[in-house]
């Protein structure tokens, strides 16, 4: 019979063996996968540095929330503000794959800049990440480049310098593992957030103003989902900012502003997804708050696309 405690102990023992006395560097984002990974490494008692890189593409107040979470689980982390580097490199870039490559490459560069004598990079890669960007034999292979599968990482992998202990697991298994490690419920049941962050929710050019509008709309939507009790019934929800301006009225004046698209989906493993029939009240409250308080937005849409053919994210 499957026993999660036993599985956890086996994983910790395996990590100890795989790492030996090498120093591990582990990127943390506050998401389920990297949090479980960081706690596993800490419990394995290996030499580890956990690093949170603020790309400037995180959700509102994310850095502060991540700090609190890791204090709670008792794992020290270093927080680095690299937003200028990321946003500088993304300036003028609109192609989705180019955005992903830039972000993925910069992640690795930032890590190695911090500690170039580090011998091992740990990543919270899950099984679906592996198959969606496999290099051969899979229909999904050309769908999109996941940020943790860019060329530089493949090179490090071939040198045996990448540790991915979660690579055979699905999300629900990682959550069960996290619970057995004592990670708080709210962190384990937080909606998934993509590695490239808000970049994949801002089709078109990424600017500080557009990031702020997206963050504010997203925070309003998520707060409304919590308030209404819908957050835990939804697998993933977020606000995206569309690369389009449309005409509206504000006061007595014509406005010509941006549009926010809300998305809420249910899914088993992110391979397929269905949109959620949220109550009109939840959508109405969210829309009213966004239109009243997010600068430069005069239209709110609700995304009713299944995956496939749409993906969960916009890019």
**Which residue numbers belong to the known binding site for ATP?**
29-35
User: Closest separation between CB of residue 97 and ligand XMP, Å?
Assistant: 11
Name the segment binding ligand XMP (CB under 6 A); options: 71-79, 152-160, 190-198, 292-300: 190-198
Question: Distance (Å, rounded) from C-alpha 157 to C-alpha 20?
Answer: 17
Q: Establish if 196 lies at the interface with ligand XMP (CB under 6 A).
A: yes
Half-sphere exposure of 180 (CA within 13 A, CB side): 18
Each residue 270-299 as x (binds ligand XMP by CB under 6 A) or -, in order, gives x-----------------------------
Half-sphere exposure of 94 (CA within 13 A, CB side): 5
Write out the binding residues for ligand XMP, residues 13-52 only, by CB under 6 A: none
Residues in the annotated binding site: 29-35
Tokens at residue 17, please?
């063996």
Q: Could you give the C-alpha distances from 219 to 238, 274, 293, in angstroms and in order?
A: 8, 22, 12
Tokens at residue 50, please?
């956990």
Q: Establish if 311 lies at the interface with ligand XMP (CB under 6 A).
A: yes
Please tell me the count of residues contacting ligand XMP according to CB under 6 A: 12
Q: What is the dihedral of CA 151, 87, 122, 64, to 10 degrees?
A: -170
Name the segment binding ligand XMP (CB under 6 A); options: 43-51, 56-64, 255-263, 306-314: 306-314
Q: Could you give the C-alpha distances from 199 to 15, 159, 193, 223, in angstroms and in order?
A: 32, 30, 11, 21
Q: Establish if 313 lies at the interface with ligand XMP (CB under 6 A).
A: yes
Question: Distance (Å, rounded) from C-alpha 169 to C-alpha 102?
Answer: 27
Name the segment binding ligand XMP (CB under 6 A); options: 35-43, 49-57, 64-72, 188-196: 188-196
DSSP code per residue over 194-239:
-TTGGGGGS-S---HHHHHHHHHHHHHHHHHHHHHT-GGG-SEEEE
Contact criterion met (CB below 8 Å) for 295 and 258: no
User: Closest separation between CB of residue 212 and ligand XMP, Å?
Assistant: 21
Which lies closer to ligand XMP via its Cβ, residue 236 or residue 258?
A: 236
Q: Establish if 261 lies at the interface with ligand XMP (CB under 6 A).
A: no
Q: Could you give the C-alpha distances from 144 to 122, 147, 182, 210, in angstroms and in order?
A: 22, 9, 34, 23
Write out the binding residues for ligand XMP, residues 91-130 only, by CB under 6 A: none
Q: Establish if 175 lies at the interface with ligand XMP (CB under 6 A).
A: no
Given 30, 165, 194, 203, the residue binding ligand XMP (CB under 6 A): 194
Question: Distance (Å, rounded) from C-alpha 130 to C-alpha 148?
Answer: 9
User: Closest separation between CB of residue 200 and ligand XMP, Å?
Assistant: 6
Given 101, 147, 190, 289, the residue binding ligand XMP (CB under 6 A): 147
Residue ranges in contact with ligand XMP by CB under 6 A:
146-147, 192, 194-196, 236, 270, 307, 311-313
């Amino acid at each position: 019979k499957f026993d999660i405690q036993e599985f956890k102990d086996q994983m910790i023992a395996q990590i100890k063996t795989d790492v030996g006395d090498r120093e591990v560097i582990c990127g943390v984002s506050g998401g389920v996968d990297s949090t479980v990974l960081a706690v596993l490494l800490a419990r394995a008692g290996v030499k580890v540095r956990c690093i949170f890189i603020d790309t400037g593409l995180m959700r509102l107040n994310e850095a502060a929330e991540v700090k609190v979470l890791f204090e709670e689980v008792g794992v020290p982390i270093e927080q680095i503000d690299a937003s200028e580097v990321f946003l500088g490199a993304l300036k003028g870039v609109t192609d989705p794959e180019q955005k992903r490559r830039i972000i993925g490459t910069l992640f690795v560069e930032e890590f190695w800049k911090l500690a170039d004598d580090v011998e091992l990079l740990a990543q919270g890669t899950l099984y679906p990440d592996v198959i969606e960007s496999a290099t051969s034999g899979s229909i999904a292979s050309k769908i999109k480049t996941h940020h943790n599968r860019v060329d530089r990482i493949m090179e490090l992998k071939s040198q045996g310098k990448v540790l991915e202990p979660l690579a055979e697991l699905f999300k629900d298994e990682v959550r069960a593992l996290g619970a057995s490690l004592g990670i708080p419920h709210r962190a384990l049941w937080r909606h998934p957030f993509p590695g490239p962050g808000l970049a994949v929710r801002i089709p078109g050019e990424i600017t500080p103003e557009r990031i702020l509008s997206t963050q504010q709309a997203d925070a309003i939507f998520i707060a409304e989902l919590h308030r209404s009790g819908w957050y835990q019934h939804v697998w993933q929800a977020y606000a995206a900012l569309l690369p389009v301006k449309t005409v509206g009225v504000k006061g007595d004046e014509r406005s010509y502003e941006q549009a926010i698209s809300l998305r809420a989906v249910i899914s088993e493993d992110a391979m397929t997804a269905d949109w959620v029939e949220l109550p009109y009240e939840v959508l109405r409250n969210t829309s009213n708050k966004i239109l009243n308080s997010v600068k430069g937005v005069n239209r709110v849409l609700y995304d009713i696309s299944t995956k496939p053919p749409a993906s969960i994210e916009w890019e």
